[in-house]
Chain A
Amino acid sequence: MSNATLVSTTVNGDPVQFACPADESLMTALRNRVGLTGVKEGCGTGDCGACSVTLDGSLVCSCLVLGVEAEGRKVTTVEGLSEDGELHVLQQKFIDHAALQCGICTPGFLVAAKSLLDRNPNPDETEIRYALAGNLCRCTGYDKIVHAVQAAAKEMRGNGKRSKKRS
């Protein structure tokens, strides 16, 4: 790997260093160099949202970011959603509502939905559908995903951030 650049960044709250060529996407760097394979490659051209992460708090497709651009920034991936081995309420609601089948799109949906709920804790169905319009699911369809996000939003408004364990 000649001409690699050393990148120092923060991923899911932890300091991380990786070396990558300048033309490598952040998506590839996160998957292959940091080992965060929750970041999925769908289209690689910003159309499907499977590689969604936040960069300094802003929702982005990591396939449309260069790895070297992450220098000094803060990146959050789907792996950053759970805390202390406990699923984030959104993750739990996706399971409860069967809002996934093959699962490739799911990490992107979760990161995008988290970004939406951080900005708007009480979105209506239309707002959810528009906010998730950059995430494509080719198996389940979107109704169950919307229901899961609505249920998560409701619980997060009522109970703070953590999901109760299923009985």
Chain B
Amino acid sequence: MRYATPASAKEAAGLMSKEKGAAFLLAGGTDLLVKLKMGMVEPDLVVDIKRIPKIDEIQASAKGFTIGAAVSGSVIGQHKGLKAAWPGVVEAANLIGSDQIQGRATLAGNLCNASPAADSVPAMIAAGAKAVIVGPQKKRTVAVEKVVQGPGQTCLTKGEVIEAITLPKPEARTGDAYLRFIPRTEMDIAVVGVAISLKLERGVVKKAKVVLGAVAPTAVIVPAAAKALVGSKLDEAALDKLAAACSAACNPIDDKRGTVEYRTRVAGVLAKRAAKIAFQRAGGAL
């Protein structure tokens, strides 16, 4: 195995595209090194992006935030501006693994690993996050929901590298939240994850986005669930409709963490709770 530390995303993309053998990108390494240890991957080349200038920084601007592909969960959790703007994204990122994992794990890595149960992905989608993808020839920006195409599958073509995740500046009276259910208190993989972002106008939900994780091969955007919230002040009838729409959108697997029936039911319950948190964060009164 060879190891390279390119000085730019473009150089990283060039190395990845030219490699004839198996090339893997290394950011936090919390997935790659486990796969390496397990013998699931045998890289000929590992391209470590962490020496690229600014790739481990969060840039705030009038448009929003640019989170470099090597920014760790712990750095995200300490960023006051990001926490104030998108608390749901921050809490989703910080739910991933232990403090040790948080010291390394990245949003871009969570996205590229493309696990159906990735915690940060539903939250990023609900917040309107985009991935800045650099290829050997050109750069493109893709909505996060278009990146993951199936378990372990992304839209990245050979040589393409995610350089950053962008989040828009939230509109006034916007709130987001992410909740997941796991069988333990900590250190487990989501049975269900729910991310909700909503915008209020005069105390009423004007816009909403509801995204489920761990209940289908990829994160699922549920327009019917968003519709249930719009125009409401989160009364019981709206919450019941939200829950029903979320449960109806589930297409989960059965495994040791939860049955199909259980995941389907819990999706609705969690959605109600997440909606209330997002509503209050947007300044709504319950």
Residues on A lying within 8 angstroms of B by beta carbon are: 3, 5, 21-23, 25, 44-47, 49, 52, 55, 58-61, 63-66, 68-69, 112, 115-116, 130-131, 133-135
Contact = CB atoms under 8 A, between A and B. Distances in A.
Given A63-B37, A64-B29, A133-B187, A46 B1 contact: no
Contacts of B3: 5, 22, 66, 68
A60 B98 CA distance: 9
A134 B1 contact: no
B99 A59 contact: yes
Interface in B21-55: 26, 28-30, 33-34, 36-38, 43, 46, 48, 50
20 contacts: A5-B3, A22-B2, A45-B34, A45-B38, A46-B30, A46-B33, A49-B98, A60-B104, A63-B37, A64-B104, A66-B26, A66-B33, A68-B48, A69-B26, A69-B48, A115-B99, A133-B98, A133-B99, A134-B100, A134-B187
Interface of B: 1-3, 26, 28-30, 33-34, 36-38, 43, 46, 48, 50, 72, 74, 97-104, 185-187
A130 to B, nearest CB: 6
Contacts of A46: 30, 33-34, 97, 100-101
Contacts of B187: 47, 133-134
B135 to A, nearest CB: 25
A65 B104 contact: yes
Given A3-B2, A134-B100, 16 more contacts: A23-B1, A23-B46, A25-B33, A44-B37, A52-B100, A58-B72, A58-B74, A59-B99, A60-B103, A60-B104, A64-B30, A65-B104, A66-B29, A69-B29, A69-B48, A134-B187
Interface of B is mostly: mixed
Question: Interface centre among A22, A61, A64, A65, by most B CB within 10 Å?
Answer: A64
B103 A22 contact: no
Nearest to A130: B186
Contacts of A49: 98, 100
Nearest to B5: A71
Question: Interface centre among B2, B99, B100, B185, by most A CB within 10 Å?
Answer: B100
A147 B159 CA distance: 51
Contacts of B98: 49, 133-135
A22 B46 contact: yes
Question: Interface centre among A3, A23, A115, by most B CB within 10 Å?
Answer: A23
Question: Interface centre among B29, B33, B72, B74, by most A CB within 10 Å?
Answer: B33
